[in-house]
Structure 1
Amino acid sequence: MATIQFRLRSKANKNVSIKVRLSIDRNNVFELNTGFTINPKDWSETTGLPKQNNETNKKISNDLKKLDSYISNNLNTDLGNGILIDSNWLETKINDCFSRVIKTDTGLLINHIQYIIDNANTRKVKNKIGLSPSTIKNYTLFKNIITEYQKKIKKQIQFVEITKPFVDKFTNWLINTKNYSTNYAGKQLEILKTVCIDAEKNEIPVTPYSKIIPFFRESDKDRYIQTLSFEELELIKNVDLSNIEQLNQFKKDNPELTKNLSITPESLNNVRNWILLGCEIGQRGGDLLEITPENIRYNSKNYYIDLIQQKTNKSVTIGIIAPHVIEIIENCLPKKIQHQKLNEYAKVVCKLAGIIEVVKGTKLNTETNRKELDFYPKYELISSHCFRRSFASNYYKKIPTAILINITGHSKESLFLTYINKREDKDANADLFMQFYEKLNKDKTPEMKVLKNGTNN
């Protein structure tokens, strides 16, 4: 006759695993962990169950009795049906009794993130193959965040555990503990959802909720973007950066702003040219700084800049017509510098140009490493990303949006408008259509038409 027993294999003064021992006969004895643990001092050798000295032990005792009954009932049924009874059978019944999902290495969230990173160059994205460097970077940063969160909750995260309560707690941690911005926290949830959907495509069990995880962005009214207007660009273009004595005094008066920077006419003129060029071609800082003479094309009439955007892998051509930018291209194409240095020098150039209006925006607090919303002099908020936004904002409604998004690389107009914090103006679109219509028809000779008056005359 089969017997079922629960027992401990250790008497250490700490929690140890509770084993279940199933003995069918002398040759068929199987013993596995039940998944429960207890301190040996709370275990009764007489009853083979936890002592009834607290609520936790009482619950474990009831669970073990439930398991005993479940194994007994299934054992009789499966023996009658000729099913093999072994360790695998026992493990399955333990998991079935408590509706546990067997966890595997492939079911670990962190492992699948690494799988995506390891196979980045062969992953198919729409009609292309391979992830962009920026996308790989995002997955790597996301993996670091998940690793940190796992340390916080002291467990590895399985896909089958990514439920709404899990996502709510994770979101709370991102925003309230890590103090990430709304956009950055929302981006992590978006990546989490993407990883879960990809896992299911690879036949890894996931929860239904993980495929519909909502993510978010800050609302338009909460977004504070900085751009350089045409008037401000004129200030930058015309500011005198050649007076060495004035520059030396400026460095003394602004030690924090100029820290670790070489404040010379050459270095500042180089950055001025990057600013002026960047605000006329609408590209990201990383793409801007990669421009060399090889990217510039002249067809005996016009200048063009051809490049492939690093983030989107899109091929973009920008026509250059602004006289001051043509001069930069022909005579003083700026030298490449580190992206971070460009951001630091841009603030110096803007302050020297008098762009000191106090505006509301976000600025990095170097002590907390978090961006803080407050009022700052505008030059403190200028970075290379402002150049691209300046191009988009300055030429919006002056040039058809379809042309602008072909240059910036946005996939659709709605994203472009969000980027510059604008709402679609349908009246403006209609007015623009009428303007182009008038231009198309202004040189046409009017046609004489005979209008009938309803009679035969």
Structure 2
Amino acid sequence: MTPIKRHCQFLVDKEKGKEDGRLRYRIKWNREIIAFNVGYRVYLSKWSKETQRCILNTTHGRDKISASEINRAIQIMEDDISSIFYKYEMNDIMPTKENIREDYNLIARDINLKENIVKLVDLFQTFIDDQSKSNHWSASTIKKMTTILKHLTRYKADANLDEITETYLQGFIDYLLYNRKMRNTTIEKNYRLLMWFLRWATKHEYITTKAHILFEPKFKNSTKEVIFLDWNELIALYNYDFKQRKYLERVRDVFCFCSFTGLRYSDVANLSRADVHDDHIEIVTQKTDDRLIIELNKYSKELLDKYKDIPIEENKALPIISMQKMNEYLKKIGKMLNFNEPIKDTYYKGNRRFETTNPKWELLSTHCARRTFVVNAISLGVPTHVIMKWTGHKSMESMKPYTKIVDKLKRAEMDKFNR
């Protein structure tokens, strides 16, 4: 570590005809000079150049600010600037004045927030603004967080930061249940997003309460049914003749491509022709920033070849429409192909249990394609760890719902011998 030689001095700007002046902190190093306003006016007659402090037991400015308050601000500024330079010394970097100003402004901003933000909803908006930029949130993540902010505002807009108690948190859960009529699964997702914010607020010392750490709400949930197309349904869809309905054919092709590669719809939407190679595609996923290499099989390759000479906006590999329209058309396609298998959905609202049964086509969505890929790959005997390399799943735990489905299918097939 190389110490950075610097000369630091607090100066009182002399103003003609006035007994006091603005107090500044000037730092010189490596031919760089920068000055910060301390935020106080100081009387020259009550300022000590030797100690770089206000003379004790004096007051300054129209508001008669005490010397002890100003001297405390001076010490804090000295410490903050020293810590900034220490960071660069540790990394053997010579900072520019822009570096120092930017770092100090961040510290000053945090101090200002802690002193002035008292409402939880105000801090939540700051959380969205800060984290969406620094972590490059996707539009969907920003939308989810903005929705949580709306719920918090409608629940209790004037809640202060010191009101984050177990009672407040349970009240928010009850609000989502009774006022917004949400299912337990949806409430749990919303609560996890709120916890994300509370961990951030705790880390930055905006709040000191531990209620969110100690409070452990229980959500009664049933295992959600995994909607997918079995191999026969997938091949029937792949070979279906849509005749002149080209818009449905394009929707089918994109869905099938996801079903033969395991890609999310958001990643296929970003797939460009530059990402396509002779025998594989290479892409960085939007959701997790994973770099995936996925080998092409004959089906996925045929779909890419089908569109390789057709002009598509932004040189995309496949024709993409909005997810909302895609999901709408998938249900229409599923109905045309008689995907009528009854799917039972069991869910809870609080402690109340509900059941609905719908034909499979009503439940089709873009994410069913990724599930279709995983279930069929396991059924075909592809090792789970290989599938995870293609899909980007991080743990065997996340694959359990799919392996359970395949085990159930195997038992059903074995039962055919008994019949």
TM-score range, shorter chain: 0.5 to 0.7
- CA gap of 1:132–1:336, structure 2 versus 1, over 3 A, is closer
- CA gap of 1:405–1:228, structure 2 versus 1, over 3 A, is same
Which blocks of at least 5 consecutive residues in structure 2 are unaligned?
1-113, 309-317, 348-353, 411-419
* Alpha-carbon distance, 1:387 to partner: 0.5
Alignment counterpart, residue 273 of structure 1, candidates 243, 249, 253 = 253
Q: Is the 8 A contact 2:375 2:405 kept in 1?
A: no
**Number of residue pairs matched?**
283
2:406 and 2:370 mapped to 1: Cα distance?
A: 20
- CA gap of 1:335–1:217, structure 2 versus 1, over 3 A, is farther
Q: Is the 8 A contact 1:190 1:215 kept in 2?
A: no
1:362 and 1:104 mapped to 2: Cα distance?
A: 48
Q: Is the 8 A contact 1:189 1:213 kept in 2?
A: no
Alignment of 1:117-156 (within 5 A): 117-120=128-131, 123=134, 129-150=135-156, 155-156=157-158
* Alpha-carbon distance, 1:373 to partner: 5.0
Once the two structures are superposed, what CA deviation does each residue of 1:208-233 show, in whole Å capped at 9, x if it has no partner?
212344356664x4312210111111
* Alpha-carbon distance, 1:391 to partner: 1.0
Q: Is the 8 A contact 2:342 2:358 kept in 1?
A: yes
Q: Highest CA radius of gyration, 1 or 2?
A: 1
Partner residue in 2 for 1:183: 185
Q: Which has the higher contact order (CA 8 A, sep 6+)?
A: 2
1:352 and 1:293 mapped to 2: Cα distance?
A: 31
1:112 and 1:362 mapped to 2: Cα distance?
A: 37
Amino acid at match of 2:152: I
Amino acid at match of 2:296: I
Q: Is the 8 A contact 2:254 2:320 kept in 1?
A: no
- The answer on 1:380 being equivalent to 2:362 is yes
Which blocks of at least 5 consecutive residues in structure 1 are unaligned?
1-102, 124-128, 243-263, 364-371, 429-457
1:182 and 1:113 mapped to 2: Cα distance?
A: 23
Q: Does the residue aligned with 2:283 lie in a helix, a strand or coil?
A: strand
* Alpha-carbon distance, 1:406 to partner: 2.5
Alignment of 1:186-265 (within 5 A): 186-214=188-216, 219=221, 221-242=222-243, 264-265=244-245
Alignment counterpart, residue 301 of structure 2, candidates 316, 326, 337 = 326
* Alpha-carbon distance, 1:291 to partner: 2.4
1:320 and 1:217 mapped to 2: Cα distance?
A: 41
Q: Is the 8 A contact 2:224 2:346 kept in 1?
A: no
Once the two structures are superposed, what CA deviation does each residue of 1:143-163 show, in whole Å capped at 9, x if it has no partner?
12111212xxxx512232121
Give me the TM-score of the superposition, normalised by structure 1.
0.56
Once the two structures are superposed, what CA deviation does each residue of 1:22-76 show, in whole Å capped at 9, x if it has no partner?
xxxxxxxxxxxxxxxxxxxxxxxxxxxxxxxxxxxxxxxxxxxxxxxxxxxxxxx
- The answer on 1:350 being equivalent to 2:356 is no
Q: Is the 8 A contact 1:189 1:214 kept in 2?
A: no
Alignment counterpart, residue 116 of structure 1, candidates 113, 116, 127 = 127
Q: Is the 8 A contact 2:262 2:374 kept in 1?
A: yes
* Alpha-carbon distance, 1:341 to partner: 1.2
Identical counterparts, % of pairs: 25
* Alpha-carbon distance, 1:268 to partner: 1.7
Q: Is the 8 A contact 1:182 1:217 kept in 2?
A: yes
1:423 and 1:106 mapped to 2: Cα distance?
A: 50
2:218 and 2:259 mapped to 1: Cα distance?
A: 29
1:109 and 1:359 mapped to 2: Cα distance?
A: 41
Amino acid at match of 1:320: L
Q: Is the 8 A contact 1:159 1:196 kept in 2?
A: no
Q: Is the 8 A contact 1:159 1:205 kept in 2?
A: yes
Amino acid at match of 1:330: D
